[in-house]
DNA sequence: CGTGCCGGGAT
DNA sequence: ATCCCGGCACG
């Protein structure tokens, strides 16, 4: 008793079935793709003149030290948006998707409009701006084209002379440590804050060379040593930590760890791992630099990449920090699944007193008991709504692919 | 019971 | 590789 009509299948069969295949599928694909793209911004800060060469040693030193305490974070997909605005849902469910790009950059595009005539020291291309705008904005209290203003009480060359360098990179140090360089020449206890300074000092005063040429045969290096002081700049140190990272959690960890998220612990250290695996000759940097100052000389060959690397890290880390939930209590912790290397955290920063310490301790306490037991058995289950709950069964094609495949949700990673 | 997602199967 | 589902753990 069917109709004689051929009955085009565009009928009311399902209504959604049709649209699903062609339309939405491609859209979601696109969406995902874009996500990936936006994540992989890697901005080379290519700026160095031959004059900065010996400065590089300083940079290297600082990088190395900071590496020892810095997490191996590097959070790839920009999940920041979720963190600082709980309203991603809006554009997610509303017609046009592309939630990531929308929410993350939408609010801040304003920066591009005002030409930054006031700061010559930000050569960063637009992309990078996107990456570190989150940290810059909140710290200043508003969008401002102004150059790095209030901060950096840390490490400036007091020797103050010819080569003035403004490197945005090494500015931020997370642990409150100050590196100084002391002249070891007999009867001369001069202490300077930069390696360049001390080198020049030695070169000119003790070795009696001309200061103008920057060629350093490295001899100076044997006459000074590196010393570290503890200083705490609470305000800054705090911001550079990455406590609030729960939201920034990244789905597929780029580092080869099977763990769901290595994410930036406030002060995860894991010195051996991070540096060791990466570079053969830079391995074990931390202990070296600490005990034997002369090692500095050996290392200083190629740190260019390291600098960039840390820079990225830093920006990422602070980005997450930006929205700093005042109460980083139980919730923010719970996301942390890997109990590994966690307990150790408390140990290392112990000497740096102040805020960071306190926090890390708190974290350790909170996280270890529940996680330790739970993580052993299972993954506990993600909390927070996932695609399914958010969009509902009927909008299944809005889910992230993982959810559609009943895999661990990739969009709302917890 | 709904939900998240691991393990495994199909293509 | 992409897509899907059974089934389990968990709330």
Q: Which of the nucleotides lies closest to A389 (Cα–C1')?
A: B3
Instruction: Tell me how far the alpha carbon of residue A409 is from its chain's centroid.
Output: 23
Find and give the residue nearest to C7, measured CA to C1'. A406
Distance CA A286, CA A283 (A): 8
Taking the CA of residue A406 and the C1' sugar atom of nucleotide B9, their distance in angstroms comes to: 14
Q: Which of the nucleotides lies closest to A412 (Cα–C1')?
A: B4
pLDDT, one tens digit for every residue, chain A (414 residues):
433 333 333 333 333 333 333 333 333 333 333 333 333 333 333 333 433 334 444 444 443 444 444 433 333 333 333 333 333 333 333 333 333 333 333 333 333 333 333 333 333 333 333 333 333 333 333 333 333 333 333 333 333 333 333 333 333 444 556 678 888 877 788 888 887 886 888 778 877 766 555 555 676 677 778 776 664 433 333 333 333 333 333 333 333 333 333 333 333 333 333 333 333 333 333 333 333 333 333 333 333 333 333 333 333 333 333 333 333 333 333 333 333 333 333 333 333 333 333 333 333 333 333 333 333 445 566 667 788 888 888 888 788 888 889 988 888 876
| CA distances to A37, A78, A105, A309 from A40, in Å | 6, 9, 15, 13
Q: What is the side-by-side strand order in the sheet with A177-183?
A: A191-192, A177-183, A224-230
Nucleotides of B under 7 A from a protein CB: 3-8
Residue A366 is predicted with a pLDDT of: 38
In this complex, which protein residues place their C-beta within 7 A of any atom belonging to strand C?
Answer: A 25, 377-378, 380-381, 401, 404-407
Taking the CA of residue A132 and the C1' sugar atom of nucleotide B8, their distance in angstroms comes to: 42
Q: Which of the nucleotides lies closest to A378 (Cα–C1')?
A: C9
Q: For chain A, percent helix, then strand, then coil, each to nearest 5?
A: 50, 5, 50
Instruction: Tell me how far the alpha carbon of residue A221 is from its chain's centroid.
Output: 32
Taking the CA of residue A389 and the C1' sugar atom of nucleotide B2, their distance in angstroms comes to: 10
Phi and psi at A183, nearest 5°, equal -75, 135
Find and give the residue nearest to C4, measured CA to C1'. A405
Residue A29 is predicted with a pLDDT of: 34
Taking the CA of residue A223 and the C1' sugar atom of nucleotide C7, their distance in angstroms comes to: 69
Paired residues of A192 in beta bridges: A181
Q: Which of A174, A140, A131, A181 is nearest to A158 (CA)?
A: A181
Nucleotides of C under 7 A from a protein CB: 3-7, 9-11
Residue A335 is predicted with a pLDDT of: 34
User: In the structure encoding, which two tokens stand for residue A279, read together?
Assistant: 């570079």
Taking the CA of residue A13 and the C1' sugar atom of nucleotide B1, their distance in angstroms comes to: 29
Inter-residue contact A137 to A319 (CB < 8 Å): no
Domain ranges of chain A: 40-104+125-141+154-329
Residue A139 is predicted with a pLDDT of: 35
Taking the CA of residue A379 and the C1' sugar atom of nucleotide B7, their distance in angstroms comes to: 15
In this complex, which protein residues place their C-beta within 7 A of any atom belonging to strand B?
Answer: A 379, 381-382, 385-389, 393, 403, 405-409, 414
Q: Which of the nucleotides lies closest to A390 (Cα–C1')?
A: B3
Q: Which of the nucleotides lies closest to A405 (Cα–C1')?
A: C4
Taking the CA of residue A143 and the C1' sugar atom of nucleotide B3, their distance in angstroms comes to: 41
Taking the CA of residue A28 and the C1' sugar atom of nucleotide B5, their distance in angstroms comes to: 21
Taking the CA of residue A144 and the C1' sugar atom of nucleotide B2, their distance in angstroms comes to: 48
């Amino acid at each position: 008793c069917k109709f004689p009509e051929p009955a085009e299948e565009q009928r009311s069969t399902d209504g959604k079935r049709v649209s699903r295949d062609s339309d939405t599928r491609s859209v979601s694909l696109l969406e995902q793709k874009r996500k990936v793209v936006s994540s992989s911004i890697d901005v080379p800060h290519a700026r160095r003149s031959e004059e900065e060469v010996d400065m590089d040693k300083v940079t290297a030193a600082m990088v190395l030290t900071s590496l020892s305490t810095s997490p191996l974070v590097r959070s790839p997909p920009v999940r920041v948006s979720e963190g600082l605005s709980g309203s991603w849902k809006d554009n997610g469910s509303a017609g046009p998707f592309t939630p990531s790009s929308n929410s993350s950059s939408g609010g801040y595009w304003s920066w591009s409009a005002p030409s930054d005539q006031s700061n010559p020291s930000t050569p960063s291309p637009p992309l990078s701006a996107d990456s570190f705008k989150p940290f810059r904005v909140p710290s200043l209290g508003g969008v401002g084209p102004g150059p790095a203003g209030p901060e950096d009480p840390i490490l400036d060359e007091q020797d103050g002379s010819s080569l003035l360098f403004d490197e945005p990179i090494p500015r931020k140090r997370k642990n409150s440590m100050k590196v100084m360089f002391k002249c070891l020449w007999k009867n001369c206890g001069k202490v300077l804050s930069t390696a360049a300074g001390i080198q020049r000092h030695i070169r000119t005063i003790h070795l009696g060379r001309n200061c103008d040429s920057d060629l350093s045969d490295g001899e100076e290096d044997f006459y000074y040593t590196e010393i570290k002081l503890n200083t705490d700049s609470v305000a800054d140190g705090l911001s550079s930590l990455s406590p609030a990272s729960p939201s920034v959690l990244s789905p597929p960890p780029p580092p080869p760890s099977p763990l769901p998220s290595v994410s930036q612990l406030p002060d995860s250290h894991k010195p051996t791992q991070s540096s060791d695996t990466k570079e053969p000759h830079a391995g074990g940097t931390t202990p070296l630099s600490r005990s034997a100052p002369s090692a500095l000389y050996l290392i200083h060959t190629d740190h260019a990449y390291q600098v960039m690397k840390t820079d990225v890290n830093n920006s990422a880390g602070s980005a997450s920090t930006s929205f700093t939930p005042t109460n980083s209590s139980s919730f923010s912790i719970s996301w942390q699944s890997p109990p590994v290397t966690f307990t150790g955290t408390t140990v290392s920063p112990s000497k740096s007193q102040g805020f960071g310490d306190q926090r890390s301790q708190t974290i350790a306490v909170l996280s270890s008991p529940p996680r330790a037991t739970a993580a052993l058995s299972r993954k506990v289950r993600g909390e927070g709504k996932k695609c399914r709950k958010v969009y509902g069964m009927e909008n299944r094609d809005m889910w992230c692919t993982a959810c559609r495949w009943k895999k661990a949700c990739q969009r709302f990673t917890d």
